[in-house]
Amino acid sequence: MEYQIPTVLMVEDSAPLSAVYQAYLKHEAVTLISVASGAEALQQLPLLQPDILLLDLHLPDMSGMEILKHVQASALGISTIVMTANGSLDMAVDAMRLGAHDFIAKPVDADRLRVTLRNTIEYRRLNALVSRYQNVYPRDQFEGFVGASVSMQEVYHTIETAASSRATIFITGESGTGKEVCAEAIHRLSGRHNRALVALNCAAIPKDLMESEIFGHVKGAFTGAVSERIGAAGRAHGSTLFMDEVCEMDLELQSKLLRFLQTGCFQKVGSSITEQVDVRIICATNRDPLVEVTAGRFREDLYYRLHVIPLQLPPLRERGDDVLRIAEVFLQNFAREEGKRFLRFSDEARRALLVYHWPGNIRQLQNAIRQIVVLHDGLDVTLNMLPALLRQENRAQQPTPERAPQAEINGAVVGEGSIRPLAVVEREAILLAIDACRGNIPHASRLLEVSPSTLYRKLQGWQEQGLLPDNHK
Amino acid sequence: MQWIDEEILAQLGRDAGEELLPQLVAIFVEDGQKNLDALVGAVRTRDAEHLLLLAHTLKSVCATYGAMCCHAEALALENSCRQQKWTAMEQGVADLQISLPASCSALLALVPVVHPA
């Protein structure tokens, strides 16, 4: 990093004092510029963009405090050192509260002035260094995310760089990977953060109500529209609209959304008045949007309109040790909430957390840790406290003993090491049957000789536990 | 009367550089006369706020250059201004009308100012 000589703007109305301070600092590696009034200082600040402001608090035309407030409000990144007489230390304290970096009492001691200035320069240098390294070296937490894996560093970087733009962001990732956390982080870091993020889950709203949810409706637009309603697009004016599960949207509504994205204009349901809004769009899906386009379920033109900045959230199983970091954060939080003593995971429990493939991602991990904390207590989370699924998969990963006894099932030789939990085998068998029947659950249930309601109940249970693959949701 | 604390002046020379001391003293003397005029003007117009600011600044300047008598008088004037005691303020300015020129003369005697030809 190239070193630049810091610029110091000194605001001192007394010519003899200004001359003395300039003499004190004549050998310092700074560019020192001196002005004698508050008005001159305010004029020079944007022109010079000094690194450090050496500010006398008693000025003939205005209080130094006013200049300090201006510097803070303008977020110019200037470090201010205030100079004030010994009897005015209360003012110095007020100045520090207003954001001054340091203060020097008058009469100014030459060494004190030089040391304070050098310290301030060093402080700024280190601050810049820390900021630079924060962008280069891994972070283990970022805007609601926990994780230090390489894949998450890329996510953090994309969020940071894309947040200030107005460009549409298309977040993809399996269920439970943090798509909403991601949208919130982008909004929080954007210039629109002063207004609330408007979130809409396209999968949770009935098809018939979706248009009204997005664009609003006028009174009498349809049965039950007893009053006018502002939709998500209207509420998000000047802010961000997050459309989750966007691939679930009906094709007819997709064309209306496309028009809205192209023009920024929409009409409420039942209204002929066109409204224009300034909205930044973030959308998300747990499906592969290109597969949806190929299958004709998602408009290609809408896909390209939305897919400006793609952001892929990695599944938890591909995030290495992040699972342990996240589990530890959940453990601390839930233990505090539930009044339990848990501090850490035992080595065996840690191994089981790492081995498990987490199909439900962070949401599943969150539920698992919540379950552990609610049902158990102690300092360590041990293996036997983990939910059964995690323990089973852990056991299945154990090395197969040599010359283990083997049995023959349906003509296939089965070793002890390849035996898997019944629940896992059952889930696989049912999902394979549903796939073979092209999603026709009543037909699959007939072939499996169980009732359709049994299959629906099991599918719902697996969905809640995050155990359902994406193509079965 | 010792108008100048020579130890403080010597320290100023060490801190600022001996070669710069004559230049600094010249600025002090020039500014001292301006300050005195401003003090008298502020008393005449009964501008206590301006008088306070002038006294406050003069206090620091005099302490820096070793004019400790002036420093003490400027401090007293500053306090009188805060208490809005006009008689004391007038007396304070009158005292400085004597001590400030005397301090400037004493300084010039200690550090001769070489004016450019």
Closest residue of chain B to A24, computed from CA coordinates:
B16
Inform me whether the C-beta atom of residue B26 falls under 8 Å from chain A C-beta atoms: no
pLDDT above 90 covers a percentage of chain A that reads 56
Question: Cβ contact (<8 Å) for A58 and B53?
Answer: yes
Q: What pLDDT, on a 0 to 100 scale, did the predictor assign at position A462?
A: 83
For residue A197, pLDDT beyond 70: yes
- Per-residue pLDDT of A369-387, as tens digits, reads 999 999 999 999 999 999 9
Give yes or no for residue A451 having a pLDDT over 60: yes
Mean pLDDT, residues A238-248 taken together: 94
Q: Taking CB atoms and an 8 Å cutoff, what residues of chain B touch A58?
A: 53, 56-57
Q: What is the pLDDT of residue A410?
A: 46
pLDDT in tens, A64-99: 999 999 998 877 789 999 998 766 667 878 888 888
In this prediction, residue A27 carries a pLDDT of 93
* pLDDT attached to residue A394: 63
Whether residue A397 has pLDDT greater than 80: no
Q: Which residues of A touch B56 (CB under 8 A)?
A: 58, 85
The 3-class secondary structure across chain A, one letter per residue, is CCCCCCEEEEECCCHHHHHHHHHHCCCCCCEEEEECCHHHHHHHHHHHCCCEEEEECECCCCEHHHHHHHHHHHCCCCEEEEEEEHHHHHHHHHHHHCCCCEEEEECCCHHHHHHHHHHHHHHHHHHHHHHHHHHHCCCCEECCEECCCHHHHHHHHHHHHHHCCCCCEEEECCCCCCHHHHHHHHHHHCCCCCCCCEEEECCCCCHHHHHHHHHEECCCCCCCCCCCEECHHHHCCCCEEEEECHHHCCHHHHHHHHHHHHHCEEECECCCCEEECCCEEEEEECCCHHHHHHCCCCCHHHHHHHCCEEEECCCHHHCCCHHHHHHHHHHHHHHHHHCCCCCEECHHHHHHHHHCCCCCHHHHHHHHHHHHHHHCCCCEECHHHCCHHHHHHHHHCCCCCCCCCEEEECCEEEEHHHCCCHHHHHHHHHHHHHHHCCCCHHHHHHHHCCCHHHHHHHHHHHHHHCCCCHHHC
Q: Do A17 and B63 touch (CB under 8 A)?
A: no
**What whole-number percentage of chain A has pLDDT above 70?**
91
More reliable by pLDDT, A137 or B112: B112
Structure tokens at A469: 């693959």
Of B20, B31, B64, the CB nearest to A107: B64
Query: Would the pLDDT of A404 be above 70?
Result: no
Report chain A's mean pLDDT, rounded to a whole number: 87
Report the 3 state secondary structure along B44-93. Answer: HCCCHHHHHHHHHHHHHHHHHHCCHHHHHHHHHHHHHHHCCCHHHHHHHH
pLDDT tens digits, one per residue of A255-300: 999 999 989 999 999 999 999 999 999 999 999 888 898 889 999 9
Strand pairing partners for A105? A84
B12 interface with A at CB cutoff 8 Å:
yes
Q: What is the pLDDT of residue A401?
A: 42
Confidence of residue A414 (pLDDT cuts 50, 70, 90): low
Selected residue of A83, A106, A111, A115 to mutate for chain B interface (largest B Cβ count, 10 A): A106
Kindly tell me if the per-residue pLDDT of A138 is higher than 70. Answer: yes
Rounded Cα distance between A244 and A190, Å, is 19
Tell me the shortest Cα–Cα distance from A123 to chain B, in angstroms.
25
With contacts defined as CB-CB under 8 Å, which chain B residues touch A26?
Answer: 17, 20
What is the average pLDDT across A295-311? 90
**Interface predicted TM-score (ipTM) of this complex, two decimals:** 0.94
Nearest to A14 among B15, B17, B61 (CB): B61
Helix (H, G, I), strand (E, B) or coil at B117: coil
Which pair of tokens denotes residue A314?
Answer: 């990695």
User: What is the interface size between A and B, counted as CB pairs within 8 Å?
Assistant: 52
Quick check: A16 and B59 CB within 8 A? no
Could you tell me which residues come within 8 angstroms of residue B59 by beta carbon, excluding any fewer than 6 positions away? A85, B71, B74, B75, B78
* Cβ count within 10 A of residue A272: 7
CB contact under 8 A, A20 and B30: no
Mean per-residue pLDDT for A414-436? 77
One-letter identity of residue A30: V
Residue A402 burial by Cβ neighbours in a 10 Å radius (0-12, 13-18, 19+): exposed
Instruction: Please identify every stretch of chain B with a pLDDT value under 50, giving residue numbers as ranges.
Output: 117
Residues of B in contact with A15 (CB under 8 A): 27, 30-31
> What is the C-alpha to C-alpha distance for residues A63 and A175, in angstroms, rounded to an integer?
57
All residues of chain B having their beta carbon less than 8 Å from the beta carbon of residue A13 are 57
Please calculate the CA angle B112-B113-B117 and round it to the nearest 5 degrees: 130
Q: Is B85 left (phi over 0), alpha (psi -120 to 50) or beta?
A: beta
Dist CA A166 CA A264 (whole Å) = 13
